[in-house]
Amino acid sequence: MITYLLFPVGLFLLVYSVVLAFFFKKRRLASLIWLWGVLGTLILFLLVDYLTTFTLLSKIPYFSDALWWLIPIYYFFTLYQSYRAYGSDLGASIPTFFQFIGQMAVLLIFLSFWGVYSIFMTTDYQENTFDLRQEAPSFFTEESKLEYPNDAELIHISWRKWGANGSTNIIFRVSDINSFGRKAFEKYEFTNPVMDFPNLGWDRLGESNGNVLLPPLCRGFKAVTVVPRYLEVTREVTDPEDFCGERDALFTQIDYDTEIGVIMVILPQEKLVWLNSTGWF
């Protein structure tokens, strides 16, 4: 845990020392353009990006969104300081505009490399966070084309990233499972295998069966190690109640394509519904 904190603390101290220099030392225009507009923005971006990977912080409603807003606020603040250095008149608008274009070009080049890294070289797993729970009803309706039941009790929702591939899983309990089942049967065809997650019938669910990326559930461990950005972190794993073990199931493949896999499983006796939506690169 101490190792994880050293990186953001070091970045904070660097930013803090730069801020002190910004307010209490005379600055050349070149330092305003490059040190503050480019390097300062990059440091703040990396710091915010790293902090948003912490599970504890992600549980605070809208905290991550507030952190991201710091980046454009800081960037335009430094641009305003450059505008003042140019003279704060109408003539200062032209060099300030070209400075904005130049700085943005440098930032976009950096972000393009960062984007490739974050998409293809990182892994992550999050479950039952505030944002995921807020999106649960709309996610289920969008992927299943069925209404999210009014009496649904959300048991589990998680998001897993493995390189450029990712999946979202939702499990909820419905008191009137028969009514939900009738609506589902009108729209999809179901089979009746026995599920012992991650096995379904005689086969194991996965890319070759269901075309899905599974969450790390029902495997006997309480945490997984992932690399959401720059350092390894540990994510908590909680098995949903009444989901693991052999269960009579109703299974349907909602969507099956090269880049998409969507399945839904109904456990009638447990009154549970599980939906997995996977995107493949």
Does 14 share its domain with 110?
Answer: yes
- 130 and 262 in a common domain: yes
My answer on whether 76 and 114 are in the same domain is: yes
> Are residues 101 and 213 located together in one domain of the fold?
no
Domain limit, last residue, from 67, 102, 120: 120
Q: How far apart are CA 46 and CA 49, in angstroms?
A: 5
- Regarding whether 262 and 150 lie in a shared domain, the answer is yes
Q: Domain residues for 214?
A: 124-279
Residue 26 has pLDDT above 70, yes or no: no
Is 95 in the same domain as 116?
yes
Amino acid at 162: W
Is a pLDDT exceeding 80 seen at residue 106?
yes
Domain boundary among 85, 120, 155: 120
Confidence (pLDDT) at 18: 56
How does 43-70 read in b/e, with b if 16+ C-beta sit within 10 Å? bbbbbbbbbbbbeeebeeeeebeebeee
If one counts the domains in the chain, the total is 2
Out of 69, 93, 120, a domain closes at: 120
CA torsion through residues 139, 144, 147, 151, sign:
negative
Q: Do residues 208 and 107 share a domain?
A: no
- pLDDT per residue over 207-222, tens digit each? 888 999 999 999 988 9
Query: CB of 226 within 8 A of CB of 4?
Result: no
Point out which residues pair with 105 in neighbouring strands. none
Does 161 lie in the same domain as 114? no
Q: pTM for the complete prediction? A: 0.76
pLDDT of the residue at 131: 87
214 and 137 in a single domain? The answer is yes
Which pair of tokens denotes residue 255? 């969507």
Per residue in 115-138, pLDDT (tens digit) is 898 889 999 999 998 889 999 999
Instruction: Decide: residue 226, CB within 10 A, 0-12 exposed, 13-18 middle, 19+ buried.
Output: buried
